[in-house]
């Protein structure tokens, strides 16, 4: 990269109003400004870096676990105040920074102890050996399973059909724990997603097959267990969106850019994302200054992704679900107005 003249730096990097008259006259920036200029050049030097366009993971399925975005996994296990946690050793980067929300966790969880529903209400299944298959619905998954069984695995047995006997056989499978009083299968709904999920340990194929048959013959499959309701804490989400620029970066690049951003803006933090959300690292730095806006604009022009847009989209989806959904479990959420 060519050597830059002072006229090529953004005004917010130079802050000429802080220079003494003779420094302006002789174009001799103070030490702090020289450091910012070096950091800006370092930032520009990553324009050709490989591995850009890190995004949140694209679901491979439509009804299995990867089809729902697990924002709740960013919280601490004890659901204490959400923090953008620094990941680097003190010797390399100075004191670790952790921007902590004053409003609590990112996602709030409510548990309904005695939830009842019909298996036909289930819209997603957490665990399945067929999780890589793009079935459109639990019903379609069940039809596929019955067809596969009848074609390849029913030697000496009558084929599975749309009748009471087939429904009874499918429901008798011991891995459908909610029908046989063992195990710890539960239900969950994430308000930004809106679907009722069975968080199971097995039995997905037989349950889906039973759902398919039950829908065709008008039969009921009553189920009961705990229901976990997840919803964004809108105060913490707003704290993030109003207070910080949020950029998803390749992991190695994030480590390199943190120094540049902290030298320019004054503070910043990296938070490595769990692989279930994204194969990358979140770089967060405070809004509110002209130079922070310049840094964000440069990062976006380099092709990096604004995570804030994903959070806004998810929060809007949650608000729409809580306001418009007619499912009975929607009323169980702690605050329909969030």
Task: Tell me whether residue 183 is in a domain.
Answer: yes
Task: Tell me whether residue 61 is in a domain.
Answer: no
Distance CA 65, CA 61 (A): 8
The gap from C-alpha 151 to its chain's centroid, in whole angstroms, comes to: 39
Residues 338, 229: contact at Cβ < 8 Å? no
Residues spanned by the domain of 217: 108-231
43-81 residue pLDDT tens: 998 887 655 678 998 888 999 999 999 999 999 888 899
Task: Tell me whether residue 213 is in a domain.
Answer: yes
* Confidence (pLDDT) at 158: 92
Task: Tell me whether residue 309 is in a domain.
Answer: no
Task: Tell me whether residue 191 is in a domain.
Answer: yes
Task: Tell me whether residue 167 is in a domain.
Answer: yes
Nearest to 306 by CA among 230, 235, 246: 246
Distance CA 257, CA 247 (A): 11
Task: Tell me whether residue 216 is in a domain.
Answer: yes
Task: Tell me whether residue 187 is in a domain.
Answer: yes
Distance CA 329, CA 115 (A): 9
The two three-digit tokens of residue 246, written as one number: 């949020």
107-153 residue pLDDT tens: 999 999 999 999 999 999 999 999 989 999 999 999 999 999 999 98
Number of domains in the chain: 1
Residue 336 has pLDDT above 60, yes or no: no
Distance CA 30, CA 20 (A): 9
Least confident of 8-12, 38-42, 285-289: 8-12
């Amino acid at each position: 990269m060519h050597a830059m003249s002072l006229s090529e730096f953004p005004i917010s990097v130079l802050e000429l109003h802080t220079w003494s008259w003779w420094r302006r006259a002789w174009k001799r920036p103070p030490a702090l400004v020289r450091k910012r200029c070096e950091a800006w050049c370092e930032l520009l030097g990553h324009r050709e870096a490989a591995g850009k366009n890190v995004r949140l993971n694209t679901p491979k399925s439509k009804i299995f676990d990867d089809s729902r975005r697990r924002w709740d996994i960013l919280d601490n296990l004890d659901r204490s105040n959400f923090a953008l946690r620094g990941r680097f050793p003190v010797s390399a980067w100075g004191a670790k920074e952790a921007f902590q929300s004053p409003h609590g966790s990112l996602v709030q969880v409510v548990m309904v102890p005695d939830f009842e529903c019909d298996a036909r209400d289930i819209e997603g299944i957490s665990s399945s050996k067929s999780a890589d298959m793009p079935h459109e619905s639990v019903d379609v998954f069940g039809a596929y399973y019955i067809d596969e069984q009848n074609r390849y695995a029913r030697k000496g047995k009558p084929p599975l059909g749309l009748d009471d006997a087939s429904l009874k056989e499918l429901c008798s499978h011991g891995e459908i724990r909610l029908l046989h009083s063992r195990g710890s299968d539960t239900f969950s709904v994430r308000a930004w997603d809106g679907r009722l999920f069975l968080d199971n340990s097995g039995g997905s194929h037989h349950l889906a097959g039973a759902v398919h048959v039950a829908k065709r013959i008008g039969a009921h499959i009553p189920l009961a267990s705990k229901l976990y309701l997840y919803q964004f804490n809108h105060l913490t989400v707003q704290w993030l969106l109003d207070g910080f620029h949020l950029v998803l970066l390749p992991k190695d690049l994030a480590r390199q850019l943190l120094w540049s951003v902290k030298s320019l803006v004054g503070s910043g933090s990296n938070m490595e994302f769990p692989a279930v959300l994204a194969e990358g690292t979140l770089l967060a730095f405070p809004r509110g200054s002209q130079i922070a806006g310049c840094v964000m604009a440069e990062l976006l022009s380099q092709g990096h992704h604004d995570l804030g847009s994903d959070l806004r989209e998810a929060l809007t989806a949650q608000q729409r679900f809580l306001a418009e959904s007619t499912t009975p479990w929607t009323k169980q959420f702690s605050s329909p107005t969030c």
